């Protein structure tokens, strides 16, 4: 029987430490409710002492989200512990997570404490937290650069003081999987009372090994993994929850472990976090990237059409996607080309297929991807992981759009002056009203900008090009465009 690994989600705390990813209490609550549907065991809702907004977010999540244990982070200081309890009290399932560094680098240069002083403070604060709640987690920060004998002593003292979970953080992403696995094994073998607590791990991705280190720890007996949706977090991020969960689920035969995560909610959760934080998921990101279940090679497409398991080790439906995608391009084979034509309702003869395939290959050498279009010129949204706004931006980037007279734009990039009056797009006031309703309060106006030929629609533009030096974020918006122009829309803040 597989061991059940607890998933401790810290998207709302460590994930929020990604530059630009801060969330307000309403946004945090929305994500927390989705995390509950996803089936995480513990939600670290925030750092209650850090700000009134984070205190309110922790309080509301503790009161309104059912299912997971709700946790607040607290430094090893009395005021932090007390504030965490104030935010959590009254909720049914709560945890206080307190921490202090154990590495000599941190103790000497940051905390200016001796080893003995740090150990004593850890014991005092675990004891204080245990006076409020039954569930207390202790983390020796920068554990992977700490002297292991001293680390064992601190963990033993924290457990004796009442810690029910001891978390081993690779705070700066320094460890390798073999090294981190040995550390977890050493803790199990050398901390006398370790069986009274759950061993947890919290790995950062500075060297790209956060997921590997976490899975190595599971192999050595860790019972909880701390991670974030899409792997967001401080600096290079944290261990990616979806990769850990699907790694354990897909290779249950190897790891002998699994989680309670409802994997069909993974894509929905990933996109919600991406939308709220503004952190775009890279297309080749494992599990949740737009290309994770997209196949471009003709050899792979042929195998996939014959038997899914030839080139897919997971079903896209298992993570919440409808189906895989065959991307039509210069590497596509005849089998995939015929399949796509049949999906569109065409049943060509062998001779017709050969001629069409030859023309397709010539076109594919000139374009990155071939796709069909609606009569209005909009691209059909069949590529998994892309919403229509993104696809529309692709249309603008590659093809141009209809002018006011209904004729398709040439997409030749000519121009540079103002469009002739008779060919200007009509303002779609109703659309802009709907757009404005969804804007944050800080957004002041919507400006239409011209994108120069040869520049991608999502490239950063500066409003100073139009005489307005302000920062903004890009948001592609569908509307009628005149011939020979490329446009996108900027939300000014």
The string of pLDDT tens digits covering residues 178-189 is: 999 999 999 999
CA atoms within 13 A on the CB side of 315: 7
217 with 301, same domain? no
pLDDT, residue 2, reads: 85
pLDDT, residue 370, reads: 82
212 with 330, same domain? no
258 with 149, same domain? yes
DSSP H helical ranges for 307-426 = 334-343, 350-364, 388-398
pLDDT, residue 195, reads: 97
Average pLDDT over residues 256-269: 98
More confident residue, 16 or 440: 16
Domain count, the chain: 3
Distance CA 470, CA 467 (A): 9
Percent share of the chain, pLDDT over 70: 75
Average pLDDT over residues 480-484: 33
More confident residue, 372 or 243: 243
Distance CA 82, CA 357 (A): 70
At 458, the pLDDT band (50, 70, 90 cuts) reads: very low
Nearest to 214, CA basis, from 237, 190, 191, 189: 237
81: in domain: yes
More confident residue, 242 or 485: 242
Q: What sign has the CA pseudo-torsion 270, 273, 276, 282?
A: negative
Nearest to 370, CA basis, from 361, 278, 45, 434: 361
87: in domain: yes
337, 364, 391: which is the final residue of a domain? 364
Distance CA 8, CA 10 (A): 6
Average pLDDT over residues 187-200: 98
Determine which of 82-86, 358-362, 478-482 has the lowest per-residue pLDDT on average.
478-482
Distance CA 213, CA 219 (A): 10
Most confident stretch, 95-104, 346-355, 396-405: 95-104
**Tokens, residue 259:** 């989680």
Q: Is the pLDDT of residue 446 over 60?
A: no
Per-residue model confidence as pLDDT tens digits over 377-434: 555 544 433 343 333 333 333 333 333 333 333 333 333 333 334 444 444 444 444 4
Q: Is the pLDDT of residue 88 over 90?
A: yes
pLDDT, residue 449, reads: 42
DSSP, collapsed to helix, strand or coil, labels residue 213 as helix
304, 336, 364: which is the final residue of a domain? 364
Average pLDDT over residues 93-104: 98
97 with 204, same domain? yes
Q: Is the pLDDT of residue 487 over 70?
A: no
383: in domain: no
354 with 421, same domain? no
483, 403 Cβ separation under 8 angstroms: yes
What is the Rg, in whole angstroms, of the alpha carbon atoms belonging to the chain?
27
CATH code of 159's domain: 3.20.20.70
pLDDT, residue 473, reads: 39
How far apart, in Å, are the Cα atoms of 470 and each of 20, 297, 454, 459, 488?
A: 17, 43, 23, 16, 16
349 with 302, same domain? yes
Distance CA 348, CA 338 (A): 8
DSSP, collapsed to helix, strand or coil, labels residue 307 as coil
At 376, the pLDDT band (50, 70, 90 cuts) reads: low
Q: Is 306 exposed, middle or buried (0-12, 13-18, 19+ CB in 10 A)?
A: exposed
Q: Is the pLDDT of residue 439 over 50?
A: no
Determine which of 3-17, 65-79, 109-123, 459-473 has the lowest per-residue pLDDT on average.
459-473
pLDDT, residue 413, reads: 35
Q: Residue 53: count other Cβ atoms within 10 Å of its Cβ.
A: 14
259 with 300, same domain? no
Match 């690994």 to its residue by tokens: 5
339, 364, 389: which is the final residue of a domain? 364
**Residues composing the chain:** 493
303 with 249, same domain? no
212 with 153, same domain? yes
332 with 465, same domain? no
Per-residue model confidence as pLDDT tens digits over 228-245: 999 999 999 999 999 999
Average pLDDT over residues 134-141: 98
Residue 331 sits in which domain range?
Answer: 294-364
**For the chain, what percentages of helix, strand and coil (3-state, to nearest 5) are there?**
40, 15, 40
More confident residue, 464 or 326: 326
pLDDT, residue 277, reads: 96
The model carries a pTM of 0.76
430: in domain: yes
DSSP state of 119: H
409, 376 Cβ separation under 8 angstroms: no
Nearest to 211, CA basis, from 192, 188, 194, 227: 227
**Tokens, residue 388:** 């229509």
288: in domain: no
Q: Which helix (H) or strand (E) holds 170?
A: strand 165-170
Long-range contacts of 217-220 (CB under 8 A, 24+ apart): 217/168, 217/180, 217/181, 217/184, 218/5, 218/248, 218/255, 218/257, 219/181, 219/255, 220/181, 220/182, 220/184, 220/185, 220/188
286: in domain: no
Q: Is the pLDDT of residue 436 over 50?
A: no
168 with 131, same domain? yes
Q: Is the pLDDT of residue 220 over 50?
A: yes
Most confident stretch, 360-374, 401-415, 461-475: 360-374
How far apart, in Å, are the Cα atoms of 427 and each of 121, 234, 307, 379, 467?
A: 64, 42, 50, 22, 22
Q: Is the pLDDT of residue 172 over 70?
A: yes
377: in domain: no
159: in domain: yes
pLDDT, residue 372, reads: 75
* Average pLDDT over the chain, rounded to an integer: 82
Q: Is the pLDDT of residue 451 over 60?
A: no
243 with 317, same domain? no
Percent share of the chain, pLDDT over 90: 71
Q: At what angle do helices 210-219 and 241-250 cross, to 10 degrees?
A: 40
More confident residue, 326 or 190: 190
Match 């982070």 to its residue by tokens: 73
pLDDT, residue 56, reads: 97
pLDDT, residue 380, reads: 54
């Amino acid at each position: 029987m597989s061991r059940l690994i607890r998933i401790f989600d810290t998207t709302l705390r460590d994930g929020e430490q990604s530059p630009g990813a801060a969330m307000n209490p309403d946004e945090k609550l929305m994500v927390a409710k989705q995390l509950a549907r996803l089936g995480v065991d513990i939600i670290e809702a925030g750092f209650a002492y850090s700000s009134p907004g984070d205190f309110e977010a922790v309080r509301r999540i503790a009161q309104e989200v059912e299912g997971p244990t709700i946790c607040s982070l607290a430094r090893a200081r009395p005021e932090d512990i007390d504030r965490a309890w104030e935010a959590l009290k009254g909720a049914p399932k709560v945890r206080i997570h307190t921490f202090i560094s154990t590495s000599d680098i941190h103790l000497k240069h940051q905390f200016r404490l001796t080893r003995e002083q740090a150990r004593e403070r850890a014991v005092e604060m675990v004891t204080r937290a245990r006076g409020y709640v039954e569930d207390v987690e202790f983390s020796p920060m920068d554990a992977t650069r700490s002297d292991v004998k001293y680390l064992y002593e601190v963990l033993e003292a924290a457990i004796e003081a009442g810690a029910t979970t001891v978390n081993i953080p690779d705070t700066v992403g320094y460890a390798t999987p073999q090294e981190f696995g040995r550390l977890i094994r050493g803790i199990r073998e050398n901390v006398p009372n370790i069986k009274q607590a759950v061993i947890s791990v919290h790995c950062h991705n500075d060297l790209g090994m956060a997921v590997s280190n976490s899975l190595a720890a599971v192999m050595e007996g860790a019972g909880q993994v701390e991670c974030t949706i899409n792997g967001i977090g401080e600096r290079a991020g944290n261990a990616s929850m979806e990769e850990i969960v699907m790694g354990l689920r897909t290779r249950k035969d190897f790891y002998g472990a699994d989680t309670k995560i409802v994997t069909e909610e993974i894509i929905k959760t990933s996109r919600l976090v991406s939308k709220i934080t503004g952190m775009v998921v890279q297309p080749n990101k494992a599990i949740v990237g737009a290309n994770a279940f997209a196949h471009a090679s003709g050899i792979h497409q042929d195998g996939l059409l014959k038997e899914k398991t030839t080139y897919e080790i997971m079903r896209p439906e298992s993570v919440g996607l409808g189906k895989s995608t065959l991307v039509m391009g210069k590497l596509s084979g005849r089998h995939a080309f015929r399949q796509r034509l049949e999906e569109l309702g065409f049943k060509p003869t062998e001779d017709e297929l050969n001629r069409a395939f030859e023309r397709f290959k010539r076109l594919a050498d000139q374009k990155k991807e071939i796709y069909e279009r609606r009569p209005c010129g909009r691209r059909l949204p069949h590529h998994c992981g892309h919403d229509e706004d993104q696809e529309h931006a692709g249309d603008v980037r590659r093809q141009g759009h209809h002018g006011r007279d209904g004729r398709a734009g040439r997409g030749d990039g000519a121009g540079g002056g103002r469009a002739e009056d008779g060919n200007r797009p009509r303002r779609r006031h109703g659309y802009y009203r709907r757009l404005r309703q969804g804007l944050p309060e800080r957004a002041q106006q919507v400006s239409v900008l011209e994108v120069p030929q040869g520049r991608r629609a999502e490239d950063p533009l500066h409003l100073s090009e139009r005489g307005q030096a302000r920062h903004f974020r890009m948001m592609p918006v569908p509307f009628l465009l005149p011939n020979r122009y490329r446009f996108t829309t900027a939300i000014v803040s």
